[in-house]
Every structure is written in C-alpha cells, then in structure tokens.
Structure 1
Amino acid sequence: MALDTTSPAAKSPADTGPSTPAGTPGLSVRDKLVLFVLCAAQFMVALDFSVLNVALPVLGADLGMGDAALQWAVTAFALPSGGFLLLSGRLGDLYGRRRLFLAGLGLFAAASVLATFAWDPASFLTARALQGIGAAAIVPTGMALLTTTFPEGPQRDRALALSGTLMSLGFTVGMVLGGILTDTLGWRSTMGLLGVFALIVLPLAPVLLTESQSPERPRLDIPGAITVTGGLLALIYALTTAAEHGFGTLDVQLTLAAGVLLLAAFLRIESRTEQPLVSLPMLRRPSVAWGNLGGLITFSMMTTIVFVLTLYLQDTLGLSPFQTGIVFGVQGISAAVAGSLVPRFVGRLGARRVLVAGLAGQAVFTAALLLTGTGTLGVVLATAVASLACFFHMGAIIAYGITVTSGVPNEEQGLATGLVTSSQQLGLTVGIPLLGVLATTADDLTAGYRTVVALDAAIVLAAALLIAVGLRRKSSVG
C-alpha cells in the first residue's frame, strides 16, 4: 500500500523533496538530556572500534598475546557487536527498547571494567566479547529510542545529525586518544575510558528514558533470528580474518560461504513466515534499500581511507603518530561543522538529494588525494582534501539515517534502526579487508595507496549514481 502523502506522518525529506524547518519548536531541557544520553552511548561504542588499535603491540606484550592472537582483540568485539544487531533491534521492538538499552549499557560497563583489569588473554577476550554483546544491544535500541522520542521532521533530523556526527567522530577520536592514552597511562586506560563513559551514562538513562515497544507481542521468529545472526557472525569473521591473512585461507573461504548461505536461508525463511524477524516489504522500500546501501558504502570507503592515509602519512610522508593525530583532528572538526549544517540542507533539499551529494562529494575529494604530492605542501593538501571528503561523508551519514527511518511506523523503528546500524557496523568492518589489504600487501606502499584511493573513489561515485536513480522511485509499504 502506498504511503498517504497527505498524512503528516508520511511526509519525509526523503520522499517529499524540499521542505522548510521554519517555525520548528526548539528542544526542551529534558529532550536535550535524553539526546545527550543516547548520543553519548553511540559515541562510546564508536570509540571502542578504534581506541584499542594503537595499543595492540603494548597490550600483547603485557598479556602475553602473540601477533596471531592480537587480531582477536578486535575481532572478539566486532563479531557480536555486528552479528547480534538485527536480533537486538527486534527484541527491543517486542520487549522494550529502554529495557534492552539499559541491559546493554550495564553489560558494556561491567565488561569495560573487566577489560581494564584483565589478567590474561582469556579474561581480556571474554571482556571484549561481552563489550560487543552490550554494544549490539545499545546501538539499535538507542537509535530506535531516538527516532521514537523525536517526531519525524526537523527535530528528528537534528537529533540524527548529532548522533551520526558523534558516531563518525568516535571512530576518529578513538584513533587519536588511543595513542595518547597508551603513551601516557598505558593500554589499560583505553578500556578504562570506555568504562568511565558507560558509568556516566548509566545512572542518567533510567531517569530520562521512557519505555518504547510494539503495542502487540508477536511471536519471535526463532529460525530467522538463528540464520541472520549466524550469517552475520560468519560474514564478519571472514572479513576481519581476511584483513590479516587474505581471502586465500580455507577458514576465510568456508566462513564466507557459510555466511552467504545462512543469509540466503534467512531471506527464504522471512518470505514464508507469518511473523518475520525482518519485514521483506520494508526491505523493498526504495528508501530503506538504497539508503542502507549509501550508509554501507560511505562508512566502508571512508574507513578504508582513514586506514591507508594513516599508513601514507607516517610511512611515506614521515609524520609521527601525534602529527597524524592532528591531521585526523582537523577531519574531526570538519565532521562537526558538517553535523551542524547538514540538517539545514536536508530541510531545504530533501534527504535523498543530500545523500547523493554527500556520496558524490566524498568521491571527488577522495580522488583529489591522488594529487596532493609529498613534502610539507603535500601534508597540508592531504589534510585539507581529506577534511573536505570527511565533510561530505558526514552529510551522507546524516542523510542516509533520515532516509531509512522516515515514514516507518514507531512499532518498526527498532527494525529500521537495526538495519541502519547494521550498515554502519558492517561498513566499519568490510572496507579494510576488501581494499585496505591492497595497500598493505603491495611491494610499493605509495603505489598501493594510490590504487586503493582510486578504487575507493570509483566505488563511492558509482554508488552515488545508482542511489540517485534508485531513490527516484516512490517509497511504498506492503
């Protein structure tokens, strides 16, 4: 059934094109505190994706973990945090988003304390896995609480803009803080920082957040939950392992095949069950399908650029880790500026146009990295160009979140935001294995860097063109 475009709830920047936010009431003090709690939790999870990277060699020496085992310091978090997202989003829809959000936050806080005081590899990896499970509960339910707390329109657009900005900033800030904390206080302080964040948010959340769940209590789709969770776990494991060992190893090939087969089985199950975990009509909405593709592409390709640019700045241009951190700090400022401006563009142009423009701008300025050269001038130009790419990247992040969640009924917001956050988490996971490995395995790092940058820009530009065409179709339900 087509959306009733005369209904206020059906209108969205993604579907109706230009609109104006004039006369929109401001947020109350309570709304601002709710927004702080939800965005701080999202920032904390994004920080966890990168804050430990620089500390891995020191951590390994302290806990007696070899190089092969160090990969699991990252994988143990990435597997459950990505694999359980859709299931957590749906559980929140059915049994209470606030309840699941608080449970995830409590688990994340306890796991961060355990990781801080870990005494051997087993205790540390257990803590990381528990952090991942907590993150899988926090992210989709937090996003669903945000979209159900703030009504569709300019208020929600601003809330999603802030959430998206902090999600992207968390990854970048984590890279900078990880080096500073490890050098000054040791690797344990990186995990302690996450615990501090969780313990700040945890007492506020029960007071400020109200329960939100589906008015009906349908049966949970157990076969769908098993296949989608198993498929995502297998896919994420294969991609994160490929980042270290390539796609030629048997375990990567087997788990990649298992992931594809399980996800195919999941789609077949969802097409036949009366109460599916994921509504296939929702997945067929152009705004949901194309919007999530935009999110997956912008996250994965920018994560790849951050990775290869870090190598290029230090190994080719000779920057220290601290100087490299300054470069990414400038990118962070650019992202913050974009976060404050993009909602205005969404209000005037519509989320679809901003999503396409964001991807196109990210592609153009990513390609411009090929022209920056070496020496001091090269560093300055690389900083400026990467910051502009990050500005457009942030525009794409904000616009895709608005595009996917606009027009979705409140009782399905957990599912919609579960899809949004799955795109984010998979994007953070797949970019480096797919493209970054071309730089790390090349005989000439500079040549490998240029190859990755060129491919990255081409992929983002192709996605922008596909999404521009795909989103011309009017979203429909059922």
Structure 2
Amino acid sequence: MELKLMRRTQPRHSLAVTRDSLATKAHPQEQKPTLTEKDLKFDFDYSQIRDPRRTPGRVKRLRYEERELSEEWLSKFHIPNHKSPHTDPLHTFYDLHKCHKKGPNGSPTNDSAGFQLDYKKVADWMKPRQYSKKTMMNSMDRSLKRGVEEKQLAYETFFVDGKGPEADSLSVMDLIKAQMSKDLNVPYHQIDAKEIKNWGEKGFEKVKADEWWSKPNEVERARFSTMHRGAALRKKLMATQTETLLVESTPAMPLAATAEATIHTPSSAPSDRVSMASRLEKIAVTFQLSGVNFACSATNGLIIVGLPKMTADLHIPAALAFWPSSVQGLATASTLLLAGALADVVGARSVELVGCILSGVFMLACGFVQRGEELIALRALQGVALALHLSSSVALVTKTLARGRGRNFAFACLGLSQPLGFSFGLVLGGVLVETIGWRSGWYLYGGIVLFLSAVGFWSLPKAEPLGTLSEVLASVAIKVDWLGTLLASAFMALLCYFLAVISTDVYRIREAGSIVLLCLSLLALPLFVAWMHFQVKKGKPALIPNSFWRNHAFTSICVTIALSNSVINSLELFSSLFFQEIQHLSALNAAIRILPSVIVGIALNFTTGLVVHRIPAIWLIVTTSVLTAVSPLLMAVTDPSWTYWTTAFLAQVLMPVSADVLFTVGLIVVTETFPENKQAIAGSVFNAASQFGNAMGLAIMQVVSALVTKQNSGMKGNEALLEGYKASFWTMFAFMIVCASIGGVGLRHAGRVGLKRE
C-alpha cells in the first residue's frame, strides 16, 4: 500500500473539502476497505536518520493525521462518518479528547507521535481561558529568553569550543537534543537545561562543530516536526519507566521518496548499538561469560576445602595461611575500575579474551607450584585477570542483547554461575583432595577456562578496528581517567586490606600500620570526589561523575548490593561454623545443611531474570531484603539442641533471596545509569560494590564475634563462642533491615526495570 507524505509547506485548507470531494468521485459499486486507526500507523525510515538508535519514551507507532495525507491516498478507503470529530482518528485533537474522556484513572493514552499524554495537562488545556495581549507577550518573552539561555548552555556543553556551526540554530538544537535524548535515554521533549547539564556531567565526549554538522534531510525534518507537536501535553517519564514498544503486525507504511537524502554516519559510538547477533551467538555469549564465572568461582571452593592440604604440601607459614583464599578478592577489588576504564576504550571483547586466557594460564600454573609464595602470587595475578573478565562481561551482555527479558536472563545467569561454581568447587574439591590430589582441580578449571576462551573468539561480538598501536595508546592516554582510577583503586585496595587485617585479629587495629592504611584509604575518597568535580567542570573524562550519586536508584542499589553481599557471605560462613563448632557436625553434614540455600539460589536466579521487568524494583528489593532478614534472625534464636527442621532449615532457604534478586536488579539499574559506551565501567562499579560488601561483612562480623566471645570467656564449654555467633547473626539482621530501608527510600521512583526499549 502506497502512502505519500505531503510537504509541510502545502496550505492546510487544501484538504478542507476532502470528504465531500471523495464522496462525489467514488463509484457507488466500488468496494473499499474501511479506514481504521491501524491503517494510519507508520514508522520513519531510520536508514535516513543520522542516529538510528530508537526514540526514548515512545511506546507506540506513529499515526498520521488528516492534514498530512493526500486526497489520492484517502480516496482508496471508505471513511466512516463520526458523530463527533473528536472520535475520528484523522482529527488533530482525537488523542486529547480520548485522554480527557478516560478521566484521571483511565488507561494510558498516547498522542499521534507515540508518546504518553498527561491527563492533568490535557484537562488543564481543555479548560476555557481568557488571554490578554499583555499575558501573551509576556509568555512569548519568557519562552524566547528560555530558548536563548538553553541554546547557550547546549552549545557550551556539546561543542568543543562552545561555538556551534554557522547554521540555523533551531535545526542545530533539534539535532543536539536528539543525540542527548538517546545518550541519556530520556524522551526528546524532556531535554531541558537540567538534562543538558546532566549530559555534560555524565562525561559524554564533546564534538567539533564543523565535523559534526550536516543539514537535516527531509525525513529528519519531518521527524522533528512530529516530536515537537503537542510536546507540552506529554507525561514526564523517568528513564526506567519507558514501556515496551508495541510493534504492529502490519508492515510499516513508507514515506514519500526523500529528496537528496543522505545517510549519515551515526554520531554514537559503535558500542552504543546492540550487535545483530543470531540466537545461537547470544546463547554462546551468555554460556561463555557464565562459564568463566563458574570456573573462577569453583577455584575459590577448591581453595577453601583444600587449603589445609595445600598448606602442608607447600609449607605455607602460619602468617600467610589465609592469603591463598583472600588475595584474589583483594586483587580483583583493586583493579576492577581500571579494567572497566580500559575495556570501554580498547573494547570489551579484547579485554575479555585477555582476561580469560590469563585466568586459564594462571590456574594451570597453580597446579605446578612448589612453594606457598608462588601460589599466593599466582592467585593475586588470577584476581587481576578476573577483574578484566568481570568488567568486560557486563559490557558484552549489553552489546549482544537488547534491553528486555533476554538481557535480564543473561544477567541472571551471570549471577547464578558464581554461587553455583563455588558450591561445585567445594564438593568436587573435597573429592579431588581425598583421591587424586588438589593439583588436578587447577588443571581441570584452567582447561575449562582456556576452552571457553576459544568459544569467546567465535561468539563474542566484534568491535570496530582500533587502529594502529600508536592510536590505541593515544586513546588510552586521553580517554581513561587515570588519576580518578588510581584514587578509586587505592581507596578500595587499602580499605579492603585493612578490613582483611582486622578480621584475623581485631586488636591489630591499634598497630601503626593499620592506622596508616585506614587514614590513607579515607584520604583517597574525598580526593576522588574533588577530582571528579574538576574533570567534569573541564569537560574531560571522569570515571564516575559525582552527578551519578544524585541518582537515588543508582546510589541505593550500590549500597544495598554491598550490604546484601556482606550478609550472605558472612551468613554462609557463620552457619557452617555453627553446625560444626556448636552442634559438632562433620564438614560434610554441615555442607548438606547449607545445600538448600544453593538450590533456592539457582531457582531464584532463573525466575528473577524472567519476571524482573513485570514487578516494580522497590517491591522486589524491599520484599526480598525483609525475607533474607528473617534468616539471621532465625539463626540468632536457634537453640543448639533443636533439630535442623525447627529453624535452621527455613533460615537456609531464605538466606540467598535478597542477594540473588539484587544481582539481577542491580545490574540492570547500574547499566541503565551509565551511558551505553561506558558499560564496562558500569560492570566494574557493580562488582566493586559486591567485593567491598564481601570484605566489609566478613571483617565486621568476625570482629563482633571475637569481641563478644572474649567478653563471655568465663562461660562453660562453647557457650562463649555461641554468644559470639549469635551477636554476629543479630548484626546481620540489622544490616538487612537497613538494606530494606535504603531500597525502599531510594527506589520509590524507579518503577519497573529491565523493560524492552524502542
């Protein structure tokens, strides 16, 4: 079906007699299809638009109005008579009257441009008003003044030298707002001075006016005209409230031939768009990334269960006894942000493959060590390689899978693979240690990771060519916020090391070395904040702009992730200690009693990825945090003489609820906060919050347990130790209540997350 779009310069009265003329020209015997609202739907030809990313906030296809249609096209339909023009889809104000008729509690109504209308604004527009000449002139003056100020701010924020091209400023502003809208994932009509400042603070790269500017073609001009039409009556949406685009089953109606239209290179970076991967490639990417997570976590389980044997075989000194298990996490936390910054510049695929290959090599090397110091050094290097993988894996998921259920499920698989791998490593590690030896575990997991590296060479989405070595080095030098990364990494490394030190002996906090570590870490934090302010002010790359922390959803997710991870890791450890040290069960029986938490965690990760986009984030986080809070509460009131089924079983079932749901929801919120070309940094921030939570939780809980145990040292048997464990359980309960409270306050405006975007 052919549809021609009339030029905007055509007089509006040219269609004034359309219906009468159609009635006289049509033959009575001619059978015509009845014109419906569905026939009026269309899409713009995105190949003719410089930035083909979809329009944020649009939830329906566009619809033509009568003034845009030719008499020839209308003559092909039978046009029914309507009692009122307000019920006619061709009428200009059809959507407004439809919205007004539904009332304030009616279902959402969209305008002809596909954006949701705001009932209050429509109702106010419907009210009769009296305008004086003075009122109208004052309104025009304010509008002009606001436009001038907005233009000046946009030019200073968007262009390198603050000067725009020698062209029509209205067209320039249209293109600037269109790019900012898609970069920020904010509807076009909401791009005002506040959002322009937000764009600048988020660290998007400024452009050179002469290189960037090209005159909008006819399709782009028609699109901008549609975007402006009725914009004042649209509902203001948050970025996470953009609903799923409802695509009609009928093919899109083509626009008229565009005169001399030029296909421009999109202004966004290649990483801004989801790659056109096949279903098999999407599955392979998720499998590869989750598989590496699984194998790396399995080595942690192997270390935990095989550490006594490794210590004896490698003659590890008592002072270094716990370093093989803790040094990897410390190295990962210290290098995550640097790895993310590099991945965003040189490409997530390259960083992921390097990380996978190095992880596999270091795992194999661990099987050949002869001294404890060698094992500790290789575990530290493995932690650095893991940081490369963790930061780039998030960026690769966002590049391969579009927003929606598929991406949510992939995030859930990333979350599932870690606890599942750890549990698998514990079980298989115990078997290997008692049979063919702990070295075989390193050979097994190293081989798996190297195999998955080969899978990655085929499946991972390829990026644009990086250029020559000198160009790559120049990009790394210019585009990476080196000082910001150094300050953030120093803060994480020093604080995590300090927490690790006092977790082994709380009284080491009095030592000069511990005090220096704490002071240096606390000094790095304000320096980092000040440096971020300086970088944003100068328009230079900023690792995590300070403006991000004003996003309540982002800030609350980072805090709740840290709190939730601190509780679940500590709860696993202290539950195992309770079963072994207080109830005097074997390690195998203790592991069996913790098994329900693993099963529930697997089920939760799968289901969360499928339903997260259907339930508001606030209810997911608050509900799961409260449920998990019940777990340490039950362990705190458990009497050692009670059977497992009295309270401990339910405590194990509820233990993983918050952390597993938060992993998926948190990844979605964090990745939607950062721009598409900064997804590796997003993954780094998320994983850094998790790693910090692990270190903080274990340190605080062990300190609490040690202090309370010492205070009750006069008790008989294991009663003092039991009191220490109970104090830790009560502390975990308090942490989860704080977690639920922060989630409830910070996510109250977040709406549903993980929705498919247009």
Return closer, same or farther for 1:13/1:362 CA change in 2, 3 Å cut-off: farther
Tell me what 1:346 maps to. Answer: 612
Task: Give, in whole Å, the separation in 1 of the partners of 2:701 and 2:56.
Answer: 42
The answer to which of 113-122 and 339-348 deviates more is: 339-348
Tell me what 2:513 maps to. Answer: 251
| Amino-acid identity (%) | 22
Report deviation, 1:457: 1.0
Task: Give, in whole Å, the separation in 1 of the partners of 2:701 and 2:354.
Answer: 36
Report deviation, 1:375: 4.3
- Given that 2:301 and 2:422 are in contact with CA atoms closer than 8 Å, whether structure 1 keeps it comes out as yes
Report SS of the residue matched to 1:277.
Answer: coil
The answer to which of 127-136 and 272-281 deviates more is: 272-281
The answer to which of 176-185 and 270-279 deviates more is: 176-185
Gaps of 5+ in 1: none
Tell me what 1:301 maps to. Answer: 567
Q: Which has the higher helix share?
A: 1
Tell me what 2:743 maps to. Answer: 467
Return closer, same or farther for 1:440/1:433 CA change in 2, 3 Å cut-off: same
Tell me how many residue pairs correspond in the alignment: 470
Return closer, same or farther for 1:433/1:426 CA change in 2, 3 Å cut-off: same
Report deviation, 1:28: 1.7
Tell me what 1:277 maps to. Answer: 543
Task: Give, in whole Å, the separation in 2 of the partners of 1:115 and 1:92.
Answer: 27
Return closer, same or farther for 1:122/1:370 CA change in 2, 3 Å cut-off: closer
Return closer, same or farther for 1:207/1:213 CA change in 2, 3 Å cut-off: same
Q: Give the letter aligned to residue 514 of structure 2.
A: V
The answer to which of 74-83 and 312-321 deviates more is: 74-83
Return closer, same or farther for 1:275/1:172 CA change in 2, 3 Å cut-off: same
- Given that 1:299 and 1:424 are in contact with CA atoms closer than 8 Å, whether structure 2 keeps it comes out as yes
Task: Give, in whole Å, the separation in 1 of the partners of 2:743 and 2:340.
Answer: 25
Tell me what 1:221 maps to. Answer: 481
Match of 2:240 among 15, 19, 24: 15
Gaps of 5+ in 2: 1-54, 60-181, 187-236, 249-276, 467-471, 714-719, 752-758
The answer to which of 267-276 and 72-81 deviates more is: 72-81
Matched, 1:242 2:502: yes
Return closer, same or farther for 1:127/1:7 CA change in 2, 3 Å cut-off: farther
Report deviation, 1:279: 2.6
Correspondence list, 1:68-83, <5 A: 68-83=319-334
- Given that 2:56 and 2:242 are in contact with CA atoms closer than 8 Å, whether structure 1 keeps it comes out as no
Report deviation, 1:286: 2.0
Q: Give the letter aligned to residue 314 of structure 2.
A: L
Task: Give, in whole Å, the separation in 1 of the partners of 2:292 and 2:646.
Answer: 34
Return closer, same or farther for 1:21/1:240 CA change in 2, 3 Å cut-off: farther
Matched, 1:231 2:231: no
> Structure 1, residues 350-396: CA drift from partner, whole Å, max 9, x if none?
33321222212111233122344334623663133212222343122
- Given that 1:303 and 1:432 are in contact with CA atoms closer than 8 Å, whether structure 2 keeps it comes out as yes
> Structure 1, residues 60-82: CA drift from partner, whole Å, max 9, x if none?
11111121111221233122211
Return closer, same or farther for 1:166/1:18 CA change in 2, 3 Å cut-off: farther
Return closer, same or farther for 1:18/1:460 CA change in 2, 3 Å cut-off: farther
Report deviation, 1:308: 0.7
Report SS of the residue matched to 1:152.
Answer: coil
> Structure 1, residues 302-341: CA drift from partner, whole Å, max 9, x if none?
1010111111011111221111222232211110111122
Q: Give the letter aligned to residue 167 of structure 1.
A: Q
Return closer, same or farther for 1:290/1:392 CA change in 2, 3 Å cut-off: closer
- Given that 2:302 and 2:426 are in contact with CA atoms closer than 8 Å, whether structure 1 keeps it comes out as yes
Correspondence list, 1:426-437, <5 A: 426-437=692-703
Return closer, same or farther for 1:235/1:190 CA change in 2, 3 Å cut-off: farther
- Given that 1:14 and 1:350 are in contact with CA atoms closer than 8 Å, whether structure 2 keeps it comes out as no
Task: Give, in whole Å, the separation in 2 of the partners of 1:404 and 1:214.
Answer: 28
Q: Give the letter aligned to residue 219 of structure 1.
A: K
> Structure 1, residues 196-251: CA drift from partner, whole Å, max 9, x if none?
33122111111110135899955322211222222221112111122212233332
The answer to which of 425-434 and 80-89 deviates more is: 425-434
Task: Give, in whole Å, the separation in 1 of the partners of 2:409 and 2:345.
Answer: 27
Tell me what 2:597 maps to. Answer: 331
Task: Give, in whole Å, the separation in 2 of the partners of 1:13 and 1:449.
Answer: 44
Task: Give, in whole Å, the separation in 1 of the partners of 2:689 and 2:465.
Answer: 23
- Given that 2:314 and 2:370 are in contact with CA atoms closer than 8 Å, whether structure 1 keeps it comes out as yes
Relative contact order: is structure 1 or structure 2 higher (C-alpha 8 Å, sep ≥ 6)? 1
Task: Give, in whole Å, the separation in 1 of the partners of 2:239 and 2:440.
Answer: 42
Return closer, same or farther for 1:258/1:189 CA change in 2, 3 Å cut-off: farther
Return closer, same or farther for 1:176/1:379 CA change in 2, 3 Å cut-off: farther
Match of 1:207 among 458, 462, 466: 458
Task: Give, in whole Å, the separation in 1 of the partners of 2:376 and 2:490.
Answer: 20
Report deviation, 1:188: 2.4
Match of 1:47 among 271, 277, 298: 298
Q: Give the letter aligned to residue 415 of structure 1.
A: I
Correspondence list, 1:408-447, <5 A: 408-440=674-706, 442=709, 443=713, 444-447=720-723
Return closer, same or farther for 1:395/1:313 CA change in 2, 3 Å cut-off: same
Return closer, same or farther for 1:51/1:288 CA change in 2, 3 Å cut-off: farther
Task: Give, in whole Å, the separation in 1 of the partners of 2:247 and 2:627.
Answer: 27
Q: Give the letter aligned to residue 465 of structure 1.
A: S
Matched, 1:59 2:310: yes
Match of 1:361 among 610, 620, 627: 627
Q: Give the letter aligned to residue 356 of structure 1.
A: V
Correspondence list, 1:257-268, <5 A: 257-268=519-530
- Given that 1:366 and 1:386 are in contact with CA atoms closer than 8 Å, whether structure 2 keeps it comes out as no
Return closer, same or farther for 1:27/1:309 CA change in 2, 3 Å cut-off: farther
Return closer, same or farther for 1:363/1:193 CA change in 2, 3 Å cut-off: farther
Task: Give, in whole Å, the separation in 2 of the partners of 1:164 and 1:188.
Answer: 27
Which of the two has higher C-alpha Rg? 2
Return closer, same or farther for 1:126/1:13 CA change in 2, 3 Å cut-off: farther
Greater than 6 Å deviation, 4+ residue runs: 11-14, 17-23, 213-216
The answer to which of 341-350 and 84-93 deviates more is: 341-350
Report SS of the residue matched to 2:498.
Answer: helix
Correspondence list, 1:133-212, <5 A: 133-212=384-463
Report deviation, 1:401: 1.7
Matched, 1:382 2:382: no
Task: Give, in whole Å, the separation in 1 of the partners of 2:464 and 2:696.
Answer: 32
Report deviation, 1:42: 2.0
Report SS of the residue matched to 2:303.
Answer: coil
Task: Give, in whole Å, the separation in 2 of the partners of 1:423 and 1:399.
Answer: 14
- Given that 2:634 and 2:647 are in contact with CA atoms closer than 8 Å, whether structure 1 keeps it comes out as no
> Structure 1, residues 389-408: CA drift from partner, whole Å, max 9, x if none?
22343122222222222353
Task: Give, in whole Å, the separation in 2 of the partners of 1:384 and 1:20.
Answer: 41
- Given that 1:97 and 1:142 are in contact with CA atoms closer than 8 Å, whether structure 2 keeps it comes out as yes
Report SS of the residue matched to 2:369.
Answer: coil
Task: Give, in whole Å, the separation in 2 of the partners of 1:459 and 1:366.
Answer: 10
Return closer, same or farther for 1:207/1:386 CA change in 2, 3 Å cut-off: same
Tell me what 1:128 maps to. Answer: 379
- Given that 1:13 and 1:403 are in contact with CA atoms closer than 8 Å, whether structure 2 keeps it comes out as no
- Given that 1:369 and 1:386 are in contact with CA atoms closer than 8 Å, whether structure 2 keeps it comes out as no
Return closer, same or farther for 1:252/1:187 CA change in 2, 3 Å cut-off: farther
The answer to which of 36-45 and 207-216 deviates more is: 207-216
Task: Give, in whole Å, the separation in 2 of the partners of 1:21 and 1:114.
Answer: 53
Task: Give, in whole Å, the separation in 2 of the partners of 1:67 and 1:380.
Answer: 39
Return closer, same or farther for 1:126/1:412 CA change in 2, 3 Å cut-off: same
> Structure 1, residues 8-51: CA drift from partner, whole Å, max 9, x if none?
7749999339989999xx98222111110011112233334443
Report SS of the residue matched to 2:321.
Answer: helix
The answer to which of 171-180 and 353-362 deviates more is: 171-180
Return closer, same or farther for 1:438/1:362 CA change in 2, 3 Å cut-off: same
RMSD across aligned positions (CA): 2.9
Tell me what 1:114 maps to. Answer: 365
- Given that 2:566 and 2:694 are in contact with CA atoms closer than 8 Å, whether structure 1 keeps it comes out as yes
